[in-house]
Amino acid sequence: VHRSADETAFPNGARFAFTVVDDTDVATLDNVRPVYDLLTDLGLRTTKTVWTHRCPDPHSSYRDSDTLEDDAYRAYILELKARGFEITWHGPSMESSTRAEIEEGLRRLRDWIGVAPRVHVNHAHNRDNLYWGVDRLDQPFLRWLYRKAGDRNVSRYEGHREGTPHYWGDLASEVVEYSRNLTFTDLNILRVNPTTPYKDPRRPLVKWWFSAADADNAAAFNTLVNEDAQDALEADGGVAIVATHFGKGFANAGRLNSRTAALLARLAAKRGWFVPVSTLLDHLRSRHERPTLAATEWRRMQWRWAWDLVQARFR
Ligand SMILES: [Zn+2]
């Protein structure tokens, strides 16, 4: 069941909504600044995640990422906040954090940037991830398949498990408003999950969950946000929340990927509502009659997520 354009009407007569949640993997000041400067010029305001702690592990695949411990990067993050971008975190660090480190990360976000992580996105295999691995799913067959074929770390996530070294679910329930679970290949998230954001009584330490469209890097982003997909998003009165990594291939030596630049300029010329993730989700949630996901919708989402993963593997 799709909501009609009328039911999802957006402020200021906008016909659709588009935003981005940018996970900060391998992001540096040099490789993300061209993207954010263009978004600024085009009037698009999105959500940028940061890490509060530099990586203690020299072998981490994310070790070259900038964090709030880098002065020039931190100054740029403050600049983005002043321009109207939403700043939130991708957890405290590129590798696992203990509860004490998580508490310190929350302090740094508050003291250095003046924000709480209203939006939370789990990162890779960090043990402090909330309801991650096999705990993302409820369908018994998909859980079995995930254990068999998927991530070998399926059960190591402890963010939501009280009494473990990585537990912070109680803190999350106070500061986090929205967390992302499943992602899909459809740009318009309402086609897969019309009740986004939603409450999930099985995962109660997160107040609201949302879904997103997945685009790992610049090439995937350019495919996802192609001209036809933009036009369909507008015609359907849809909502796009793109989960991507602006650190992955969007800019090289200070120059933005020209295809990305052209696609964003085309999108920005349309009558869309281009606000950060939590502004958009606040709006969508105010329109819900019933915040809890229907069992049929949740079942369909899990199968669709698994299907999209299989397709991606064989593409
Ligand atoms: Zn990540």
CA of 289 to the centre of ligand 1 (A): 33
For the four alpha carbons of 189, 191, 196 and 200, in that order, the dihedral sign comes to negative
CA of 31 to the centre of ligand 1 (A): 16
Assign 5 a pLDDT band (cuts: 50, 70, 90).
very low
For 7, how many CA atoms within 13 A lie in the half-sphere containing its CB? 13
Q: What pLDDT, in 10s, does the model give residues 173-211?
A: 999 999 999 999 999 999 999 999 999 999 999 999 999
In the predicted structure, residue 88 carries a pLDDT above the cut 70? yes
Assign 56 a pLDDT band (cuts: 50, 70, 90).
confident
CA of 122 to the centre of ligand 1 (A): 7
> Which structure tokens are listed for 291?
């915040």
CA of 155 to the centre of ligand 1 (A): 18
pLDDT value at residue 111: 98
CA of 93 to the centre of ligand 1 (A): 10
Distances in Å between the Cα of 294 and the Cα atoms of 151, 170, 290 are 28, 26, 9
CA of 18 to the centre of ligand 1 (A): 21
CA of 121 to the centre of ligand 1 (A): 8
CA of 287 to the centre of ligand 1 (A): 30
CA of 179 to the centre of ligand 1 (A): 13
Q: What pLDDT, in 10s, does the model give residues 117-172?
A: 999 999 999 999 999 999 999 999 999 988 887 666 667 899 999 999 999 999 99
**Cβ neighbours around 41 below 10 Å, total:** 11
User: What's the pTM?
Assistant: 0.95
CA of 91 to the centre of ligand 1 (A): 9
